[in-house]
Amino acid sequence: MSQPITARPAGFFRDVGSVAIRALQQLPRDLEFVLPALAVPTFFLVVNIGALQDVAGFTELEIDYKAFQLPVAIIFAVTGISRASALVLDIQDGYFDRLLLTPVSRRALLLGLMVSDFVLVLLLSIPVTILGFAIGVRFPTGVLGVVVFLLMGASWGVAFTGFPYAIALRTGNPSAVNASFILFFPFAFMTTTFLPLESMTGWLAEVARYNPVTYLLAGLRSLFVGWQFGELAKGMIAIIGLGIVSQTLAFSALKSRIDGR
Amino acid sequence: MIRAESLTRRFGDNLAVDSIDLSVERGEIYGFLGPNGAGKSTVVRMLCTLLAPTSGSASVADLDVSDHPGEVRLAIGVALQEASLDPKMTGREIITTQGRLFGLRSTEISKRIDELAPLIDMNAIDHLVGTYSGGMRRRLDLAASLVHNPSVLFLDEPTTGLDPPGRLRVWEEVRRLNRELGMTVFLTTQYLEEADTLAHRVGVIDHGRIVVEGSPAELKRSVGDDVVVVKVAGDSDRVAEVLAAVPGVDRIERYEHEVRAVTKDGGRALSPVAVALDRAGCVVDELALRTPTLDDVFLHVTGSHLEGGDT
Ligand SMILES: Nc1ncnc2c1ncn2[C@@H]1O[C@H](COP(=O)(O)OP(=O)(O)OP(=O)(O)O)[C@@H](O)[C@H]1O
Ligand SMILES: [Mg+2]
């Protein structure tokens, strides 16, 4: 007789992989939630450029307004994308319990989802960037610039997922998760979405100064000028800072859902 | 294999499980019988590491559930009360994900899928679970619980909502796992018949407490004796006389057109009764053996009938 098949811990990385594979398998079945994620940034890109290109001519921009708007479209495409609503459904139909009954590493349950989020937001950023090319945006930083552009956008997307995951795990309520998209608005609009920081005034300029998106946008936009490592570093710090806050919320929500019962 | 000492769980003011002691031996099928809200699922969830006890302790496969939850999970298979499946996955994806998380290699997972084929509807294995019937879902859920060859299996109301053939299939499978693999099974049920036919030992739980425990036969014997019921159209005096003379009959009870012989062991008394009646030339309309059911046990210990009981 051959060795009997028995259970053993799979190991942390394999756990993350298994959770991610399952989430990625689901993506084609959840197109109804993926497609709007592409429609929104496309719409804003076209409208913003069409409506504001001439107005923006009055301000001093280092770069073309189309290039100025492309990072905004990326942020719109990736911010708030997550598997949080799928996670709530897992909690509701008991599949989350089934996962908890396996020896899977608890942290892998969230990290695996984020790996799949990273893949998805990267996939979403590509057509948006291609659209940018189509309307004439060019990268003086070359192919490497494009890669950095995509990776920074995707990292931001993943850093942000902590908020919807925290809400999903705390409430287990689909409506609460759906409402979490409201968080997107202050981040996405109280910043240099339409105008550079120098042209902004009053309280909005003040808020924008504390909004990490401001630095992220500056970093992304710098790639249309040339390699400005200071700008890129500030952008990365903004991503990491937000990531620490949001992921701390998410992982402590995970812990309290698992232990608190 | 399963032990609990003063296991207790509160939800706010609600004492859902009240200081339960349990001891289930290796290779045993233990039936946990009780009405809605008795605390069955809460006990199961504590034993399989999903829920922390408020106080008391429990161990499964000789491992404390609070101190070594990871090791306990490797040893147990669990099918919770509601089939815990994702409707947007296929049967194969569910089993495969489950196998991976239990550390199995792909070849091992394929082998297990073949072995579990009697439980899984192989025609539908690549269809989304959302398209499955309730019975298919339950069996897939059971298959998913078994992927890693657990040594202890927890089943929370495994046949609730199944039609009679579906119920029989699950019973067969549970018996087979227990007989062929020596799997220890802890199952909860609201069905008297299920506890009676499947379990080696039954614990009756009501309001969070185990009110009585024992083998189905012991429990039934404890509430009363067997009764051989003889329905007669004609001379019931003669029948009563004959019955009273049969060895093993302790007492005769008489009703209109009915004579009852009370005995410790109805199975053994039945044919002597039949033979004696025949010899005496008594004409009998109906001869039946009535044994106490687990519902009588439940009634005896709690003062109410077990709701949802079907026997
Ligand atoms: N998560 C929870 N939060 C609050 N109360 C709970 C929770 N789970 C169970 N209870 C309560 O604990 C008690 C026991 O519930 P439990 O689900 O264990 O019963 P059960 O015997 O499994 O019933 P059923 O046959 O209906 O499944 C009930 O009063 C129930 O309301
Ligand atoms: Mg229950």
In the prediction, which pLDDT does A48 show? 76
Closest residue by CA, ligand 1 atom 29: B37
Q: What is the mean pLDDT of residues A12-30?
A: 93
CB within 8 Å of A141: residues ≥ 6 apart: A148, A223, A224, A226, A227
| Residues in B touching A5 (Cβ below 8 Å) | 104, 108, 111-112, 148-149
The CA R_g of chain B, rounded to the nearest whole Å, is 24
How close does chain A come to B217, measured CA to CA in Å?
Answer: 34
In the prediction, which pLDDT does A1 show? 45
Q: Give me the total of CB pairs closer than 8 Å, taking one residue from chain A and one from chain B.
A: 93
Residues A139 and A143: their CA atoms lie apart, in Å, by 8
Q: What is the mean pLDDT of residues B97-112?
A: 95
This model of the complex carries an ipTM of 0.86
Is residue A60 very low, low, confident or very high in pLDDT (cuts 50, 70, 90)? low
- Residue A80: alpha-carbon gap to chain centroid: 6
User: By CB neighbour count within 10 A (0-12 exposed, 13-18 middle, 19+ buried), where does B187 fall?
Assistant: buried
In the prediction, which pLDDT does A129 show? 93
In the prediction, which pLDDT does B209 show? 93
How close does chain A come to B94, measured CA to CA in Å?
Answer: 9
Residue B307 confidence (pLDDT) above 60? no
In the prediction, which pLDDT does A190 show? 79
Residues B110 and B107: their CA atoms lie apart, in Å, by 5
| pTM of this structure | 0.86
Q: Interhelix angle for A65-78 vs A106-134, to 10°?
A: 150
CB of A32 within 8 Å of a chain B CB? The answer is no
SS3 content of chain B, % helix, strand, coil (to 5): 40, 30, 35
How close does chain A come to B172, measured CA to CA in Å?
Answer: 23
Interval A169-212: pLDDT, tens: 999 999 999 888 888 888 777 788 777 777 777 888 777 788 89
**Sign of the CA dihedral running B226, B228, B231, B236:** negative
Name the helix (H) or strand (E) containing A151.
Answer: helix A142-160
Nearest CA in chain B to A23: B89
| Residue in this structure with the two tokens 């909502």, named with its chain if needed | B161
In the prediction, which pLDDT does B309 show? 41
In the prediction, which pLDDT does A84 show? 93
Interval A70-88: pLDDT, tens: 999 899 888 888 999 999 9
- Residue B187: alpha-carbon gap to chain centroid: 6
CB within 8 Å of A59: residues ≥ 6 apart: A195, A196, A198, A199
Q: Which of B50, B74, B85 sits opposite A95 (nearest CB)?
A: B85
Interval B41-72: pLDDT, tens: 999 999 999 999 999 999 999 999 999 999 99
The answer to whether B102 contacts A94, with C-beta atoms less than 8 Å apart, is: no
Is residue A57 very low, low, confident or very high in pLDDT (cuts 50, 70, 90)? low
A239 token code pair: 């991503």
Could you tell me the end-to-end alpha-carbon distance of chain B, in angstroms, rounded to an integer?
30
In the prediction, which pLDDT does B149 show? 93
Nearest to B207 by CA among B69, B51, B94, B42: B42
3-class secondary structure, B264: coil
| B33 neighbors B192 (Cβ within 8 angstroms) | yes
CB of A226 within 8 Å of a chain B CB? The answer is no
In the prediction, which pLDDT does A17 show? 96
Interval B132-155: pLDDT, tens: 988 889 999 999 999 999 999 999
Using a 6 Å cutoff on CB, does residue B46 contact ligand 1?
no
**Residue B29, phi then psi, degrees to nearest 5:** -105, 115
Within 13 Å, how many C-alpha atoms sit on residue B215's CB side? 5
Residue A126 confidence (pLDDT) above 90? yes
